[in-house]
Chain A
């Protein structure tokens, strides 16, 4: 007998087809026997109880409760294998996913959430009502960002952008140029250093080539896109640009000088965007004769990958400029959130609050892996210190502190020991050659312990709950300050920023939504108690105090 020719598959049963069709509509169907009345899952052509063949389809409610579950440690995605008791009385082996799987308990309510397998066939899975509510909130939060863009565009239609000048051929300039090229917009990448430009061109070509290899981009499209890249040291070429994005070194004097040049060389009316992450956009705008056309364009590294774009609105920035900036952001495939001009803007402002506390926890007795485990358990894709090691945060922080004449007992010692992160094979952790998995390193532990001793701090055991509160609550508090200052227009903008720029899970909404779920009175109580133990840096923000007192929420406040 000959074998089946390769590539043919067993045809799907009629039951499977009906089941899948319903699943594609998000409905779980069960089989109901008309002879004996019994229901069964995994539909067949007969009743497994009475062998009858008079069977109906019945739609299940899709709701059930957890009989038992476990967790899959090491999975980036939140997945919990589970046994679920359906409301209809059937007990199924399945999974709970895209939910806070670390806070599940036997008896918890779950609801249907079919998942496509690699072939696109919907497969049975469940999630929690809390996660579904957070996702519904997240959808509204993204709609609000879209509505802002449409609002700006309605008042003044943005000018077309065909050619963008990216000024500065460093890491960010390269990422930004790549992002524009991928969108089909022509790029002039400018730098005074011809060698830097050659290197930048090579890296951009490499990124596009990788996309071709992975099948994300057709080879002829990649060729067109690389042909749309001009690298030049000639700043007078700026006259051909419809939009200018500056990405030079983060230094105010330098940026002001560059913006004076941009103002002189770019056509009148062309928007000048600064990819600053820390500097005052108004001071930069003041170096030009068109402050209304200056806006911050805060990309996240790598700029061609990260979805978030903070559009920083200066004092003079016009609606027309915001309309253009948000429109360009959308064309780039970014979520462009308009934020106010303040140190760290929105995303980094919350991150700084968290990271400062993470550093203090190290000195008081926690270790990097313990803190990171709390954050990943909380739902973040990566912990503070693993991220620092990946992004070269030790070196950045060391150099920034050196420039300001500040000391850090941990970071300075790590830097001196050549522990700069993944790229040197060790930082807060150590790394096996070619591996990215962080490993606890006794040498780093010794440095941290010595730093505590040098600071005269007696190390103590700090439990996970305290670590979580001390990392997350200051973010919420900082968010409350941003709202009060008008830096963030609405709480949901802060949440969108943290979802798209920092990996806050959609099933947890965002820091402000999370605060509302905890209850602002509870947040206030915990911050007050931390303030008692730790000092004024935990003092609840006035807005938080006000809302907590009247049992209000952050996310119900209307945008101003």
Chain B
């Protein structure tokens, strides 16, 4: 409702609905019924974990372009804390996954997969715990301006390094928060959008890509982001150097470093050096990221950070982020998410937004 009100549209205008498996019931049926969407002619319930909502934005734009709908509503909401659910995805049943029978006897929460990426990254590229900590420090600088952030204290490197190890080498402070929450986005046909009294944000390009264990040939030092980003840049006709703000999936600090490299903001292996010395802090560094505090400090609703990544990217593109963190040149911004497990099966989504 908030997203529609912000856009100056009503439920009756919505003819396309997009959601992930967090929506209760079968596909989007219950949500459509609950919200009172009566004019739907298009629905997409793509579920790829945290990246789902970036994919929805791209799918919505393409559905509009091919004339299948005019106004698309994308929603997500989950209450892992209230449900005491732990690090699982709402509506996703992993119990019958066939490859599970051939894998580890121990249940492994995502942090262990990312910790192994971090260790290998340190081994191959000399990345340090201090460099990982810089990602959290930057997020904390942004979160201080967000009254809704779960963690609002500005942290120093030593604060991060003093937090206990959760999965060596990752510390508690290297992990995102776990929160309840949700969000919604509206994607509208350009002709409709131009009639609304809000700053225009155009989808300049998008890309998606998947990786899995490849029957025992996985290459964990590159995520699928390499391909999703390349596709998005090609479609937008721009390069990483043109981007002035990035919403980056931040389940863990290492996730950010890996994605910076895979998107092309720096060379493979240079992510640790790239984030050091406050390079991700708005007003200080070259590439401000997650100016709402991100998943690392603000929120990570439903164990999925994609929705909030999109929302903050839109705010930046409109020039409506908090004044203390708003980037000056916000013509081109990027949002990127990795859904699933970067060390195994995952789907990356990249979205490039352009202010009009």
> Residues of A at under 8 Å CB distance from B?
10, 12-13, 16, 19, 38-43, 48-49, 67-73, 79, 81-83, 86, 89-95, 97, 106, 115-117, 121, 123-125
Taking the closest CB of chain A, its distance from the CB of B160, in whole angstroms, is: 17
Q: A121–B343 Cα gap in the complex (Å)?
A: 25
Taking the closest CB of chain A, its distance from the CB of B254, in whole angstroms, is: 11
Q: A12–B214 Cα gap in the complex (Å)?
A: 22
Which residue of the partner chain B has the closest CB to A40?
B215
Residues of A with C-beta under 8 A to B108? 81, 95
- Tell me which of B72-80, B98-106, B184-192, B268-276 binds A: B98-106
28 A-B pairs within 8 Å (CB atoms) are namely: A12-B101, A13-B98, A40-B216, A41-B213, A41-B215, A42-B216, A48-B214, A68-B123, A69-B116, A69-B119, A70-B116, A71-B168, A72-B112, A72-B167, A73-B165, A81-B108, A81-B112, A81-B115, A81-B167, A83-B218, A83-B220, A91-B216, A92-B213, A93-B113, A95-B104, A97-B106, A106-B123, A123-B104
Q: A121 touching B101 by the CB < 8 A rule?
A: yes
Residues of B with C-beta under 8 A to A16? 101-102
- At the interface, yes or no: B344 with Cβ under 8 Å from chain A? yes
Q: A93 touching B343 by the CB < 8 A rule?
A: yes
Given contacts A42-B213, A70-B119, A92-B216, contact A125 B104 (CB under 8 A): yes
Taking the closest CB of chain A, its distance from the CB of B291, in whole angstroms, is: 30
Q: A123–B102 Cα gap in the complex (Å)?
A: 6
Which residue of A86, A97, A125 is within 8 Å of B216 (Cβ)?
A86
> Residues of B at under 8 Å CB distance from A?
96, 98-99, 101-106, 108, 112-113, 115-117, 119-120, 123, 164-170, 213-218, 220, 343-344
Residues of A with C-beta under 8 A to B98? 13, 42
3 tightest Cβ-Cβ pairs between the two chains A and B: A90-B216, A123-B105, A70-B115
Q: A488–B62 Cα gap in the complex (Å)?
A: 79
Q: B105 touching A106 by the CB < 8 A rule?
A: no
Q: B215 touching A48 by the CB < 8 A rule?
A: yes
Q: A124 touching B220 by the CB < 8 A rule?
A: no
Q: A42 touching B168 by the CB < 8 A rule?
A: no
Residues of A with C-beta under 8 A to B112? 70, 72, 81
Q: A93 touching B104 by the CB < 8 A rule?
A: yes
Question: With contacts A83-B218, A121-B101 known, what are 17 further pairs, Cβ within 8 A?
Answer: A12-B101, A41-B102, A41-B215, A42-B98, A48-B215, A49-B215, A68-B123, A70-B169, A71-B168, A91-B217, A93-B103, A93-B343, A94-B104, A106-B123, A117-B105, A124-B105, A125-B105
Q: A315–B164 Cα gap in the complex (Å)?
A: 54
Which residue of the partner chain A has the closest CB to B215?
A40
Residues of A with C-beta under 8 A to B344? 93
Q: B106 touching A81 by the CB < 8 A rule?
A: yes
Residues of B with C-beta under 8 A to A91? 216-218
Which residue of the partner chain B has the closest CB to A38?
B215
Given contacts A124-B103, A125-B105, contact A39 B343 (CB under 8 A): no
Q: A546–B112 Cα gap in the complex (Å)?
A: 47
Q: A79–B108 Cα gap in the complex (Å)?
A: 11
Taking the closest CB of chain A, its distance from the CB of B60, in whole angstroms, is: 32
Q: A70 touching B216 by the CB < 8 A rule?
A: no
Residues of B with C-beta under 8 A to A123? 101, 103-105
Given contacts A68-B123, A72-B167, A90-B216, contact A81 B116 (CB under 8 A): yes
Taking the closest CB of chain B, its distance from the CB of A501, in whole angstroms, is: 28
Taking the closest CB of chain A, its distance from the CB of B215, in whole angstroms, is: 4
Q: A116–B104 Cα gap in the complex (Å)?
A: 10
Taking the closest CB of chain B, its distance from the CB of A328, in whole angstroms, is: 38
Q: A40–B105 Cα gap in the complex (Å)?
A: 20
Q: A43–B102 Cα gap in the complex (Å)?
A: 8
Residues of B with C-beta under 8 A to A12? 101
Q: A106–B122 Cα gap in the complex (Å)?
A: 11
Residues of B with C-beta under 8 A to A83? 116, 120, 218, 220, 343
Residues of A with C-beta under 8 A to B343? 83, 93
Given contacts A49-B215, A72-B167, contact A10 B104 (CB under 8 A): no
Residues of B with C-beta under 8 A to A115? 105
Q: A68 touching B220 by the CB < 8 A rule?
A: yes
Residues of B with C-beta under 8 A to A94? 103-104
Residues of A with C-beta under 8 A to B123? 68, 106
Q: A71 touching B167 by the CB < 8 A rule?
A: yes
Residues of A with C-beta under 8 A to B96? 10
Q: B166 touching A81 by the CB < 8 A rule?
A: no
Residues of A with C-beta under 8 A to B106? 72, 79, 81, 95, 97, 125
Which residue of A19, A42, A73 is within 8 Å of B215 (Cβ)?
A42
Q: B120 touching A95 by the CB < 8 A rule?
A: no
Q: A121–B220 Cα gap in the complex (Å)?
A: 28
Q: A73–B99 Cα gap in the complex (Å)?
A: 26
Residues of A with C-beta under 8 A to B170? 70
Which residue of the partner chain A has the closest CB to B119?
A68
Which residue of the partner chain B has the closest CB to A86?
B216
Taking the closest CB of chain B, its distance from the CB of A23, in whole angstroms, is: 9
Q: A10–B98 Cα gap in the complex (Å)?
A: 11
Residues of B with C-beta under 8 A to A117? 105
Residues of B with C-beta under 8 A to A39? 216
Taking the closest CB of chain B, its distance from the CB of A27, in whole angstroms, is: 14
Taking the closest CB of chain B, its distance from the CB of A463, in whole angstroms, is: 17
Taking the closest CB of chain B, its distance from the CB of A219, in whole angstroms, is: 33
Residues of A with C-beta under 8 A to B101? 12, 16, 19, 121, 123
Q: A116–B166 Cα gap in the complex (Å)?
A: 26
Q: Which of B101, B115, B343 has the most CB of A within 10 A?
A: B101
Residues of A with C-beta under 8 A to B120? 67-68, 83, 106
Q: A53–B106 Cα gap in the complex (Å)?
A: 32
Residues of A with C-beta under 8 A to B168? 70-71, 73
Given contacts A41-B216, A68-B220, A73-B165, contact A19 B102 (CB under 8 A): yes
Residues of A with C-beta under 8 A to B167? 70-73, 81
Which residue of the partner chain B has the closest CB to A20?
B101
Q: A13–B100 Cα gap in the complex (Å)?
A: 13
Residues of A with C-beta under 8 A to B116? 68-70, 81-83
Taking the closest CB of chain A, its distance from the CB of B200, in whole angstroms, is: 45
Taking the closest CB of chain A, its distance from the CB of B157, in whole angstroms, is: 21
Taking the closest CB of chain A, its distance from the CB of B119, in whole angstroms, is: 5
Q: A81 touching B215 by the CB < 8 A rule?
A: no
Residues of A with C-beta under 8 A to B220? 67-68, 83
Q: A106 touching B119 by the CB < 8 A rule?
A: yes
Taking the closest CB of chain A, its distance from the CB of B183, in whole angstroms, is: 31
Residues of A with C-beta under 8 A to B104? 81, 93-95, 123-125
Which residue of the partner chain B has the closest CB to A90?
B216
Q: A73–B164 Cα gap in the complex (Å)?
A: 10
Q: B216 touching A124 by the CB < 8 A rule?
A: no
Q: B217 touching A90 by the CB < 8 A rule?
A: yes
Taking the closest CB of chain B, its distance from the CB of A127, in whole angstroms, is: 12
Q: A38–B343 Cα gap in the complex (Å)?
A: 22
Taking the closest CB of chain A, its distance from the CB of B169, in whole angstroms, is: 8
Residues of A with C-beta under 8 A to B102? 16, 19, 41-43, 124
Taking the closest CB of chain B, its distance from the CB of A438, in whole angstroms, is: 15
Residues of B with C-beta under 8 A to A42? 98-99, 102-103, 213, 215-216
Q: A94–B344 Cα gap in the complex (Å)?
A: 11
Which residue of the partner chain B has the closest CB to A73?
B165
Q: Which of A70, A73, A89, A116 has the most CB of B within 10 A?
A: A70
Residues of B with C-beta under 8 A to A13? 98
Q: Which of B112, B115, B164 has the most CB of A within 10 A?
A: B112
Which residue of the partner chain A has the closest CB to B217?
A91
Taking the closest CB of chain A, its distance from the CB of B288, in whole angstroms, is: 30
Q: A38–B112 Cα gap in the complex (Å)?
A: 29
Which residue of B105, B216, B217 is within 8 Å of A95 (Cβ)?
B105
Taking the closest CB of chain B, its distance from the CB of A71, in whole angstroms, is: 5
Residues of B with C-beta under 8 A to A72? 106, 112, 167
Which residue of the partner chain B has the closest CB to A10?
B96
Taking the closest CB of chain B, its distance from the CB of A87, in whole angstroms, is: 12
Residues of A with C-beta under 8 A to B166? 73
Which residue of the partner chain A has the closest CB to B120?
A68
